[in-house]
Amino acid sequence: MISLSIVIPVYNAEKTIEHLCNSLVALYAKEHRLEVVLVNDNSSDHTDIVCRALHEKYPDIITYIRLARNFSEHNAVMAGLNNAKGEFCAIMDDDFQNPPEEVATLLAEIRKGYDVVYSQYLQKNDSLFRNLGSFVNDKMANLILKKPAELYLSSFKIINRFLVNEIIRYTGPDPYIDAIIMRCTANIGRVNVRHNSRQQGRSGYTLKKLISLWGNMILSYSLIPLRMLGIIGLIMTVIGLFIGGTALTDYLLPSRVDPTEYETLTAVTSFFRGFQLLAISIVGEYVGRIYLSLNSDPQFVIREKFQARKKAEIRSILKAQEKC
């Protein structure tokens, strides 16, 4: 059985992924039955060529998966988890911000009996925009996912086989890995690791992708928006009763000055129409996601897969080629 799988979602990483894989093999292939699963999320550079070469270089270690289009990081990770076979499965970035040496730190911690161990950064070497996005994501997760306040949901983590099997049971089109983890287990560990500066390129998380991620977290894994609408509706009902009571009082007491009918009608209709549009948009989002799930919108589509083979199988293939 493979003891350690490392899943790496790869996007436009032609300059870093080879060095990263070489480092991981050098560090862990001797001590562990190692598997590295590379998931190419439809990169636009020469990442595909580099990953194919890595599979040929390490045919017994590297599994290479190429997706048919860009599905986003969490979908790519789900594709990797569905194909990973290790007792423990680490998830890391492709840009060396997660030092390869720190996989051993996560592995040592999860062997204490945790289902998942998240990395914690004493100092993050990200841009101001990325740090701000992480801060907002962390606070939203505290509220929506019931995440412990002291836990940071890092993309660099390690999961045991029990939790991997639970995660891949989710087949919806918009997976959010950390939300699924929070739904499955409370046996969560954390450990301090280094966080390096990005070696090449820039973060793939644009403002549009971050907003999409937050929307996915809110609408796919929580009923909070619907409950907030209920609270707002209750407050508006109370306000309506108050306004109605005030209008009745003004009618019964002629000495008080009444607002004009036009002002009253404009204020009331504008407020209620705006609220109705907000409610319809949120309910429509829920209905749309239900439709996508029922319509079997794919979580990921694999165009090609180059599976790592056992050494004995590789030797038999080589012998057959020699005979030919």
Structure confidence by residue, pLDDT tens digits, 191-236: 999 888 765 655 555 556 666 666 666 666 666 676 677 777 777 7
With bands split at pLDDT 50, 70 and 90, how would you rate the model's confidence at 38? very high
Q: What is the pLDDT of residue 94?
A: 92
Of 154 and 25, more confident: 25
Element (DSSP H or E) covering residue 81: helix 73-83
Q: Lowest mean pLDDT: which of 60-64, 166-170, 197-201?
A: 197-201
With bands split at pLDDT 50, 70 and 90, how would you rate the model's confidence at 114? very high
Residue partners of 266: CB distance under 8 A and separation at least 6: none
Reported pTM: 0.76
Q: What is the pLDDT of residue 248?
A: 67
Q: Lowest mean pLDDT: which of 102-106, 186-190, 292-296?
A: 292-296
CA-based nearest residue to 18, from 30, 3, 8, 5: 8
Q: Say whether 78 sits in a helix, a strand or coil.
A: helix
SS (H, E, C) 5-64: EEEEEECCCCCCHHHHHHHHHHHHCCCCCEEEEEEECCCCCCHHHHHHHHHHHCCCCEEE
Q: Lowest mean pLDDT: which of 137-151, 205-219, 294-308?
A: 205-219
- Strand-pair partners of 88: 4, 160
Quick one: how many helices (H) and strands (E) in the chain? 11, 8
